[in-house]
Amino acid sequence: MTTTVPIQTAKPAAQSGQPRVGVLLVNLGTPDTADAPGVRVYLKEFLSDPRVIEDQGLIWQLVLNGIILRSRPRTKALDYQKIWNTEKNESPLKTITRSQAAKLAAALSDRDHVVVDWAMRYGNPSIKSGIDALIAGGCERILAVPLYPQYSAPTSATVCDEVFRVLARLRNQPTLRVTPPYYEDEAYIEALAVSIETHLATLPFTPELIVASFHGMPKSYVDQGDPYQGHCVATTEALRRRLGMDATKLLLTFQSRFGNDEWLQPYTDKTMERLAKEGVRRIAVVTPGFSADCLETLEEIAQENAEIFKHNGGEQFSAIPCLNDSEPGMDVIRTLVLRELQGWI
């Protein structure tokens, strides 16, 4: 459960005389509505980004507009409906990211010249609306915080692309900083370990092993220089050391592949099937690449992959929540932000 704390985006003028500083948390994005029209708008923006699908040529445009956007929104809308926050009529990702920003604002409330806001790379609230609000609030400096522990061009870089596009339209630009990836940061690894240990202590069974599932990526992107796979490996190895596990007890897999190209392996769904067929009966899955629970964790892992595991002979399956706006999760965000604001506050 998340606890919503009002975000203080309209602070009175800073008393210290220091320039006002804006902090903009950014996550991937979400449809505005859990129906086919809402998902179609979201997928159109997401899949039209050359960072996500690098070849935006004629063939892709025909496939996107003639096939994908005609059929996929209906099926994905059904998936979103399974996990939708009906009380707020929004996706859990939006609920959690808002709460992360609110809790960060509360933690920095003693610094009267710091303003915190949040945005989505795709969908709403947009990065442009977030930057516009911070500038309207008097922020002369902005720290953009892509909430992706592991760097990749389709996530971290596209946030920077959009921030730069917004600033490129301004005559009077604020000074900009962007937080770096934190895939093996000590605070992040410790928070992951604590969240895993805390969750396992609540289970009525002991998992035989843990699977660390990261979002997938076409192998060709890594072959061309994207460091994402290496970052995922580094995160997993650091987590193994912290938990005292080896590669047989904490596995690394990749989920959410799309299209016909080869993606990073091993695949999460195929691993679930294989483990169950090999006699593994109790398993837990953690998703270290996601800073907040979303469709890929709440539906794809906790529902689809749980079903694959049980259908093939598995008996007990548990999806470990993301760090979200938990105390360990907020420790990570707060540590990252304060480190990068040095010299500004």
pLDDT in tens, 328-344: 999 999 999 999 999 99
How far is Cα of residue 29 from the mean position of the Cα atoms in its chain?
9
**Cα(343)–Cα(333) distance, integer angstroms:** 18
pLDDT of residue 38: 98
Helices marked H in 244-318 — which ranges? 268-277, 295, 306-311
Smallest Cα–Cα separation from 43: which of 24, 63, 57? 63
**Which segments of the chain are extended strands (E)?**
20-30, 114-123, 139-146, 175-178, 209-215, 250-255, 282-286, 316-319
pLDDT of residue 259: 83
Model confidence, pTM:
0.93
> Which residues make beta-bridge pairs with 145?
25
pLDDT lower than 70: segments of the chain: 1-17
Smallest Cα–Cα separation from 243: which of 207, 268, 294? 207
Longest dimension (CA), the chain: 65
* CB atoms closer than 10 angstroms to residue 206: 9
pLDDT in tens, 237-286: 999 999 999 999 999 999 999 888 899 999 999 999 999 999 999 999 99
pLDDT of residue 16: 52
CB 7 within 8 A of CB 23: no
Is 75 buried (19+), middle (13-18) or exposed (0-12) by CB count in 10 A?
Answer: exposed
Is 154 buried (19+), middle (13-18) or exposed (0-12) by CB count in 10 A?
Answer: buried
Tokens describing residue 132: 């516009």
**Cα(256)–Cα(217) distance, integer angstroms:** 8
Structural domains in the chain, sorted by start: 20-182+326-340 (3.40.50.1400), 186-319 (3.40.50.1400)
